[in-house]
Structure 1
Amino acid sequence: MNHTAQKNRGCVLWESCHCFKENRKIHKQFQEVMFLWKGQQIISFNQRGKQIVDGLNKTTASTGTPMDKLHGGAKRMAQMSNIGGGSKATGGGGVDEGMKAMLQYTQANTVKKMVSQGEKKKISGKK
């Protein structure tokens, strides 16, 4: 092998090592971001879960009608509004906020399950 070929081979090896180091650094940063995101999702899961339970435990709709007098769609919409903090007219977030709470709870629950499954696979050594 001539000198030029050896020099080129050394450069390729150096570049490969440099890329490997950069990839490890990026991977570590990604893990840190995912850890923070996972923590935020768990907090969101707990907060939204409490918000949902509190909303469903309210005994009246924002109109003052007892929940046990409502049926079907009217009851579901009143429950969703209660989850959202009450109607917009009474200063709450209304059905929009209730739907947002349900969506965020579902998203956070999905992340929690995926992370849990990933950790189980790491522990058992399976892929």
Structure 2
Amino acid sequence: GVIPPISKLTKDQAMYHFLSGFTSKLAGTERGVTEPQPSFSTCFGAPFLPLSPTKYADLLGNLIDIHDVDVYLVNTGWTGGKYGIGRRISLHYTREMVDQAISGKLKNTKYIKDDTFGLNIPVQID
């Protein structure tokens, strides 16, 4: 796990992560998978998109602007190191982070900017 459990994204970052479509195949959800394997699917649905991926990213960016929404990237995988070293982020903590993002509690909290990825990480989750 190299990304924080939750981070607030700029519009450009949201569009970038949407385009990259990064996910992971997990043991128990994919045949033959015994440990997590990185996987990419543009816009999280590449086989089903008839238009250019950038068209969908532009639509996302426009909706973010029109509705003035905050966008968060939630890591539901590992933290503290790669598989076998770190640990899986618990469902309890994932739900708490998502609840605080949806409720607006993270809107005005203090953030620090990660030097590697440029992600805005909340200093504290209540």
Q: Which of these two proteins has the greater Rg computed from alpha carbons?
A: 1
Give the structure with the higher percent helix: 1
Structure with bigger RCO (C-alpha 8 Å, 6+ apart) = 2
TM-score range relative to shorter protein: under 0.3
